[in-house]
């Protein structure tokens, strides 16, 4: 079985950002969905599998506090070299997002996952991920999932992936979440290859 931490550390240690098959110099597809969410001051965004995404710089510029999660300490070190540790706005969390979150993590108002959930292929890990999402996100919060769609490739970064439809996302989130918007989106890799994604934005309701 692949050691996920070693695998991702090797990827981030051996490639520059623009060489990564998911690199974006422009994160407007994600920001478009973020702009559908009513703004409120000092909102906390949870970024599972943040990698080295420039979404972090964009969120900082918009005044969010961010919980930066990744399984790869190499990715988080590269990100910290760019952003600074920025203790006021950034909370660093090197952790496998399929495993229970440590105590003391602040509740999140927004959860944004681009290209992370689809790397969890075992049912127990997928369920662990959704349990974390549910416990970390406050009532009234929002979740954006951007994953390979059912038309997407079966592998990425040398790993098998689990592909999603909006129906499966909706089913896995359960009745406390309402689907607000969704869109099929074809991301073009730096090598010019097409990667079909599904983007879906949900709101967490009070439960009853």
Ligand X SMILES: C[S@@+](CC[C@H](N)C(=O)[O-])C[C@H]1O[C@@H](n2cnc3c(N)ncnc32)[C@H](O)[C@@H]1O
In the complex, which residues of this chain contact ligand X (CB under 6 A)?
4, 8, 22, 48-51, 53, 69-72, 75, 96-98, 114-116, 119
Structure tokens at 102: 């440590």
Indicate the residue among 121 and 150 with the shorter CB distance to ligand X. 121
Q: How far is the CB of 41 from ligand X (least distance, A)?
A: 25
- For residue 42, count CB atoms less than 10 angstroms from its CB and return exposed for 0-12, middle for 13-18, buried for 19 or more: exposed
Q: How far is the CB of 94 from ligand X (least distance, A)?
A: 9
Name the residue among 144, 92, 74 with its Cα closest to residue 116.
144
Q: Are 200 and 144 in contact (CB under 8 A)?
A: yes
Q: How far is the CB of 130 from ligand X (least distance, A)?
A: 13
CA distances to 57, 75, 91, 113, 114 from 27, in Å = 10, 18, 21, 13, 10
Indicate the residue among 100 and 140 with the shorter CB distance to ligand X. 100
Indicate the residue among 71 and 145 with the shorter CB distance to ligand X. 71
Indicate the residue among 61 and 178 with the shorter CB distance to ligand X. 61
Q: How far apart are CA 152 and CA 196, in angstroms?
A: 5
Q: How far is the CB of 28 from ligand X (least distance, A)?
A: 13
């Amino acid at each position: 079985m692949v050691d996920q931490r070693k695998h991702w550390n090797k990827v981030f240690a051996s490639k520059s950002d623009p060489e990564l098959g998911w690199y974006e110099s422009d994160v407007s597809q994600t920001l478009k969905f973020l702009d559908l969410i009513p703004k409120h001051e000092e909102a906390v965004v949870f970024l599972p599998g943040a990698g080295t995404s420039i979404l972090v710089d964009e969120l900082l510029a918009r005044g969010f506090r961010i919980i930066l999660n990744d399984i790869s300490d190499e990715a988080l070190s590269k990100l910290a070299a760019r952003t600074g540790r920025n203790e006021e706005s950034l909370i660093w969390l090197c952790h496998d997002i399929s495993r229970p979150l440590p105590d003391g993590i602040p509740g999140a108002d927004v959860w944004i996952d681009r290209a992370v959930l689809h790397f969890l292929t075992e049912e127990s890990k997928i369920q662990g991920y959704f349990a974390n999402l549910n416990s970390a996100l406050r009532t009234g919060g929002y979740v954006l999932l951007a994953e390979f769609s059912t038309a997407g490739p079966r592998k990425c970064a040398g790993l098998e992936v689990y592909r999603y439809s909006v129906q499966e996302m909706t089913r896995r989130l359960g009745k406390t979440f309402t689907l607000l918007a969704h869109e099929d989106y074809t991301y073009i890799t730096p090598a010019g290859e097409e990667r079909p994604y599904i983007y879906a934005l949900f709101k967490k309701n009070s439960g009853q």
